[in-house]
């Protein structure tokens, strides 16, 4: 216990560790906040105002019911439907900018009138086009179940609905913060590298003294790793706290699972750095460089620098996504934010646990070999 406390204190006095593991994530997350904070508001789809010109055409009833269904009630309705007595009143609303377009019936077919071209007008055209396609199929006597192909584009396409959380709006920018946290977790590899370096007699005076100390090398290594894991977990926890409280990043409110993700991610990062250091006799600078390069590549593939790349990797090279610890960490955070169930979340945690176990076995094997060489 005394050795554990001393190592924690030594680590907290390390200026490099303080900068890269405590200050850098806070600074970078703040920059993310100012760079991406307005993207969700800019990408929010507003209700489309459309006028419906009342008509006595019997074919209009079905289309009107569709539009009423899309207008629904509440803030999440796609359309803001305004019923007017005729095309002249609808034309006045369009001219005044009160609506994005209006729909009337002409010879039994719907007619969309717009004043300009934009996203709202394109959506209105798509609604009418889809309605006409479905009506044509039904008039031709098609099986109603076959209409599903209109929405999938392929009759063999399977449609699945995830159990998503419906009590919050979905943000497209949280993945950047989750990927940043994944990078912070892997930054624990720096301390894992240091933990091994300070035990090797040929690399430091501290390592030489520790090699002749009357203590069990294997137990001493585990105590060292536990101490560095504590400091690393503190840095990740501080980053989560800052993002949640100051930057208002949503983690889904499942805080025990958030901490579990932080712990597993930090453990993998720490053991990865220790494994890199213990398995070769390269210089300290080269080992640190390896940790940095691997961490940045993993973080890039997890979506830290380019939106959508994580999805592309998952689609076209799922094995790479599976073995990328940063992707598993970021996806675990995203599961807590987006899904109501824990199935996919615990799958990510299980993969991280397997990674940690494999790295720990590698470290213990090489540690025993070093013990035998010193006899």
pTM over 0.75: no
Residues in the chain, total: 375
* The pair of three-digit structure tokens given for residue 323, joined into one six-digit string: 């073995």
pLDDT for the residue 75: 61
Largest CA distance in the chain: 99
Tokens 């005394």, residue located = 2
pLDDT for the residue 187: 92
Q: Which residues of 204-232 are buried (b: 16+ CB within 10 A; e: fewer)?
A: eeeeeebeeeeeebeebbebbbebbbbbb
CA distances from 301 to 45, 127, 209, 243, 313 (A): 29, 37, 41, 22, 7
**Residues 255-271: pLDDT tens digits?**
999 999 999 999 999 99
Q: Which CATH number applies to 45-152?
A: 3.40.190.10
Give me the residues paired with residue 81 across strands: 50
- Tally of CB atoms within 10 A around 59: 14
Domain boundaries, the chain: 2-39+175-374, 45-152
What are the residues whose beta carbons fall under 8 Å from the beta carbon of 263, sequence distance 6 or more? 233
CA distances from 258 to 159, 228, 262, 269 (A): 30, 20, 6, 17
DSSP structural state of residue 374 = H
324 with 182: CB under 8 angstroms? no
pLDDT for the residue 315: 84
Rounded to an integer, what distance in angstroms lies between the CA atom of residue 301 and that of residue 319?
12
pLDDT for the residue 156: 41
Closest CA to 84 of 126, 50, 120: 50
**Residues 330-365: pLDDT tens digits?**
999 999 988 888 999 999 999 999 999 999 999 988
Q: Which residues in the chain show pLDDT less than 50?
A: 146-166, 372-375
Rounded to an integer, what distance in angstroms lies between the CA atom of residue 170 and that of residue 149?
27
**Residues 140-172: pLDDT tens digits?**
665 555 444 444 444 443 333 444 444 555 566
120 with 101: CB under 8 angstroms? yes
Rounded to an integer, what distance in angstroms lies between the CA atom of residue 69 and that of residue 84?
18
């Amino acid at each position: 216990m005394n050795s554990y406390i001393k190592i924690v204190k030594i680590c907290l006095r390390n200026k490099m560790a303080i900068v890269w593991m405590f200050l850098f994530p806070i600074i970078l997350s703040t920059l993310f906040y100012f760079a991406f904070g307005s993207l969700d508001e800019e990408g929010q789809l507003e209700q489309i105002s459309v006028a419906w010109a009342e008509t006595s055409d019997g074919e209009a009833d079905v289309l009107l019911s569709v539009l009423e269904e899309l207008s629904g009630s509440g803030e999440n309705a796609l359309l803001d439907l305004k019923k007017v007595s005729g095309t002249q009143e609808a034309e006045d609303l369009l001219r005044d900018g009160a609506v994005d377009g209006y729909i009337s019936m002409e010879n039994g077919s719907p007619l969309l009138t717009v004043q300009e071209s934009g996203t709202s007008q394109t959506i209105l055209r798509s609604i009418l086009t889809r309605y006409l396609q479905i009506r044509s199929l039904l008039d031709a006597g098609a099986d109603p179940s076959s209409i599903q192909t209109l929405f999938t584009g392929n009759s063999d396409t399977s449609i699945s609905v995830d159990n998503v959380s419906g009590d919050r709006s979905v943000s497209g920018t949280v993945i950047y913060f989750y990927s940043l946290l994944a990078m912070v977790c892997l930054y624990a590899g720096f301390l894992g590298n240091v933990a091994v370096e300070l035990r090797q007699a040929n690399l430091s005076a501290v390592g030489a003294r520790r090699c002749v100390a009357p203590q069990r090398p294997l137990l001493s290594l585990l105590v060292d790793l536990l101490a560095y894991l504590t400091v690393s977990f503190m840095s990740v926890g501080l980053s989560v706290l800052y993002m949640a409280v100051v930057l208002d990043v949503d983690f889904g409110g499942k805080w025990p699972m958030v901490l579990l993700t932080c712990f597993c991610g930090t453990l993998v990062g720490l053991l990865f750095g220790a494994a890199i250091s213990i398995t070769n006799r390269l210089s300290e600078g080269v080992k640190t460089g390896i940790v940095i390069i691997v961490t940045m590549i993993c973080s890039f593939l997890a979506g830290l620098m380019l939106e959508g790349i994580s999805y592309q990797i998952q689609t076209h090279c799922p094995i790479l996504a599976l073995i990328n610890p940063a992707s598993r960490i970021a996806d675990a955070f995203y599961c807590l934010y987006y899904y109501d169930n824990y199935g996919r979340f615990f799958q990510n945690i299980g993969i991280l646990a397997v990674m940690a176990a494999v790295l720990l076995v590698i470290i213990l094997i090489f540690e025993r070999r070093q013990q035998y060489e010193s006899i």
